[in-house]
Amino acid sequence: MREQLARFKEKISRSFGGSENIPEGEEYIEVETGAQAKRTKIVVRPFVIEEFDDIKPTLDALREGYTIALVNIRPIKDKDIIELKRAVNKLKKTCDAIEGDIAGFGEDWIVVTPSFAQIHRSKQTEEVKE
């Protein structure tokens, strides 16, 4: 039992960046929380896609993992439907990669969430199709 406890303490120490060995008789370990204690807030952020290249900031924000993106696709939809399809496919692939959720709201908006959030589906929301 003591051997298992010692291995567990060593594993915890390595996980939190501790390099020193934990003495055998210690009952607890002290962990530096520093930057780890800081909680990151979730940001709900609007984006406007006027052309395909405008998708990059949206994708970057989604990959960081703390952004729920509200994407206005009206400008690109009015310009070029093929570019719209490319942009939506790129959003969908990124959403799949981060294990997030994606849905359309009305005709002009798409919402994309990270893995910890889920979009409620109703008559106003629809699954984004390729």
Model confidence at 125, in pLDDT bands (50, 70, 90)? low
% of the chain surpassing 70 pLDDT: 66
81-97 and 55-64 helices, crossing angle to 10°:
10
Which is higher by pLDDT, 5 or 83?
A: 83
Residue 31: burial class (beta carbons within 10 Å; 0-12, 13-18, 19+): middle
Model confidence over 20-54: pLDDT tens digits? Answer: 555 555 566 666 665 554 567 899 999 999 999 99
Neighbours of 111 (CB within 10 A): 18
Number of residues assigned to the chain? 130
Model confidence at 58, in pLDDT bands (50, 70, 90)? very high
In which region does residue 79 sit, left (phi positive, over 0), alpha (psi from -120 to 50) or beta (all else)?
Answer: alpha
Structure confidence at residue 129 (pLDDT): 59
pTM of this structure: 0.64
Model confidence at 88, in pLDDT bands (50, 70, 90)? very high
CATH of domain 43-127: 3.30.110.150
Query: Is residue 126 predicted with pLDDT exceeding 90?
Result: no
> At 72, phi and psi to the nearest 5?
-90, 115
